[in-house]
Amino acid sequence: MSTPTRPEINGSPAALAFDRAVDELRRGRAVQVSDEMRGLVVAAIETIQAALFERLAAASGGRAVMLVTAERAHAAGLSRQLSGAVSVAFPASTDLERLRALAGVTPGAATVDGAAFDVDPAPKCAPLAAAAFQLAKAGRLVPALIGFETSCAAMPGVMAIAQGDVVEHAPRFGHHALRLLSRARVPLADALECEIAVFGDEHSLAEHVAVVIGKPDPETAVPVRLHSACLTGDLLGSLRCDCGEQLRTAVARIEALGGGVLLYLDQEGRGIGLPNKLRAYVLQDGGLDTVDADRHLGFLADERSYDVAAALLEELGIRRIRLLTNNPQKITALREHGLDVTGRLPLVTTSNTHNERYLRAKHERAGHLDLAEKSGA
């Protein structure tokens, strides 16, 4: 008599391994990414502590390296490689903080003398490193790792995941499983008839907010604003960006148009998270613009995906919209996800001496439309 197959209670083991590997890196632990031939044991340089750094160095037998993206290696003057992973071997006496500076994690470290490091712009472990970078980015960590190559056999006490499982499940963070968590009437200063709904993403654990103003009619083109969270601008009134002004202007504009939806997306710092946004600010103070600062840390110029916005609008039963935006990429992305974007409503703000370089970079390098108007601030 055959034994009945037991169901996978928590779902796909590969998906679970992906989630757990991301969590391990965020907690400062090592994980192992493997293919059929070799393994790569890595820890995120942002979260690794001195004790684990020493244990990794000892376990590697002197073969530990730092792995960074080609963008970061180029920014640090280590390599002219345009894509992929770059391996940086370091002397055994190298201090962890020096490696953090080299990776761009330490504030103010724009460039570091790389003469003491042995750089390999095309390491054999590059595919495994690329998978590990995906895990780090899924955890909103700087894609820079300390690690060493090993066999494909799992190491005791180290969370292991197959490279193929990373490649398969990393896109889940762009395919959102949304669940309505709560909903309530919340009168706003600029929109008294307003309801706020919070949706949880079961994959990324992010929480996104839909601000429904008035009673938008889904049979018409609903005014919609996609607003990425910005703690410094939205809450604290930072003058380094125009996010807070955009947020308040959008609410008032949607109210004046008779109602619509503002989606408040958990995408701080164009998707890199608050700690990395502040690191980018330090680099901007050193002369880089907002695009180059993000690349200097090993990220793309914009790490956001607008799949979640399309999914949220679908949850709200909205398919035809007029988009309040200065960013043509948002229009393109929503149309690619099947939304009927019938038009664009510009969102003009005011610039000041603290954010004019940032706004100019968005216009000249990121293709944003409608430059902000100059204020006296």
| 346 half-sphere exposure, CB direction, 13 A CA radius | 8
Beta bridge partner(s), residue 196? 184, 211
Query: Would you tell me how many other CB atoms lie within 10 Å of the CB of residue 51?
Result: 9
What does the buried/exposed string (b/e) look like for 253-292 if buried means 16 or more CB atoms within 10 Å of the residue's CB?
bbbebebbbbbbbbbbbbbbbeebbebbbbbbeeebbbbb
Angle at 67 (CA atoms; ends 61, 72), nearest 5 degrees: 155
Nearest partner of 312 among 295, 334, 328, judged by Cα:
334
Q: Are 296 and 122 in contact (CB under 8 A)?
A: no
What lies within 8 Å, CB to CB, of 372 at 6+ separation is 242, 348, 349, 350, 351, 355, 356, 359
Residue 302: active-site member: yes
Q: Among the options 190, 302, 307, 370, which is catalytic?
A: 302
Q: Is 178 helix (H, G, I), strand (E, B) or coil?
A: strand
Angle at 285 (CA atoms; ends 283, 291), nearest 5 degrees: 50
Q: In what order do the strands lie in the sheet with 39-44?
A: 118-120, 85-89, 65-69, 144-150, 39-44, 31-34, 159-162
Query: Would you tell me how many other CB atoms lie within 10 Å of the CB of residue 187?
Result: 10
Annotated catalytic sites, by residue? 302, 304
